[in-house]
Amino acid sequence: MIRLARFSLCGSWPAAKRYEFEGVPPETFAAFRSAFAKGRYFNRHIRNRFQYRRTPD
């Protein structure tokens, strides 16, 4: 069985864009949520590794 974790990342500025990443393992998602430096974790472990799409604003 393949588990999928879907989550949205958004910034706190007015022009924030939301993306949905698919196929992120639950362990990776949990580590991202608990990371002190979420941007660093995202860039090292998620960015360019999983399919994503922009979600409607």
Residue 30 domain flag: yes
Whole-angstrom Cα distance, residue 56 to residue 54?
7
The band of 53, judged by pLDDT with boundaries at 50, 70 and 90, is confident
Nearest 5°: phi and psi at 50? -130, 150
Is 1 a member of any domain? no
pLDDT digits (tens, 9 = 90+) for 12-43: 445 677 778 888 888 888 898 899 998 899 89
Is residue 14 domain-resident?
no
Q: In terms of residue numbers, what domain contains 48?
A: 19-57
Specify the number of domains making up the chain.
1
User: Is the pTM here over 0.75, yes or no?
Assistant: no
Contact residues for 26 (Cβ-Cβ < 8 A; gap 6+) = 3, 5
Residue 36 located in a structural domain: yes
Asked if residues 29 and 5 have their Cβ atoms less than 8 Å apart, the reply is yes
